[in-house]
Amino acid sequence: MLRNFLSLRSLLLFSIPVAGLVPTRCEAQTVEDRNRIVLVGDSTVTEESGWGLGFRELVNEKAELINLAKSGRSSRSYRAEGWWQKCLDAKPHFVIIQFGHNDQPGKGPERESDPQTAFRDHLRSYVDEAIQHGIKPVLFSPLTRRRWTDEGKIVPSLSEYAEATMEVAREKVVSRLDLHALSLFQCEQFGPTAFRAFEPMDEKGADHTHLNREGSRAVAQLIVQELMVEVP
């Protein structure tokens, strides 16, 4: 049986006015009183190299955020390694699920999943089990990779996984956010030169998959803006 929830949007702050919504901070609450949100996914969801850090900064005192995203995991390996069970054991009110990057071909049989078959089945299982445990799932399509053309456009490499995620969400009638489309649009609005300020740098140059601190904040604000409008 589903527990009584605050809406997901009521657990978030937002620094840019959206459709007349004015965020307010509530009085401090104990951890036991808070609605728990768990993040599930790969490195692009973590607080070290994804949007998780920025998202944490936009969660208000009504919520407790637990980030269980793990670098290098796919929809297949995340469950196989026991991380999904940790999510269920945490008994969250909401779980946000984003996979795709490590499900792609070339990641090896322990991780990769066909977007037309196994990947969809994995997402269906996550959704079904979350609901069975009284958890509200929200499916996110994967953050775009940033492979640029000379014209400053993104060459999508995760479209099939994004489409699969959205189709499973519609099929299961659960909340969804097309982060792939949103982040692709955001990147192209900035352009390759300006967006470099949001990318980690290593000895090989800019990392076109992950995010630095400012990138995490920029993407998280995009996410929260959309959640405020689209997700109850």
pLDDT at 27 over 90: no
Please spell the DSSP secondary structure of 105-140, one letter per residue.
TTS-TTT---TTTHHHHHHHHHHHHHHHTT-EEEEE
User: At 55, is the secondary structure helix, strand, or coil?
Assistant: helix
- CATH says 8-230 is which class? alpha beta
Comparing 89-98, 114-123, 125-134, 193-202, the range with the smallest average pLDDT is 193-202
Percent of the chain whose pLDDT exceeds 90: 77
Tell me what pLDDT residue 206 has: 86
Say which residue the tokens 């499916």 belong to: 139
pLDDT at 150 over 90: yes
pLDDT at 229 over 70: yes
Q: Quick one: tokens of 120?
A: 């969809």
Q: Are 99 and 161 in contact (CB under 8 A)?
A: yes
Q: Are 138 and 94 in contact (CB under 8 A)?
A: yes
Q: Where are the domains of the chain?
A: 8-230
Between 50 and 10, the higher pLDDT residue = 50
pLDDT at 19 over 60: no
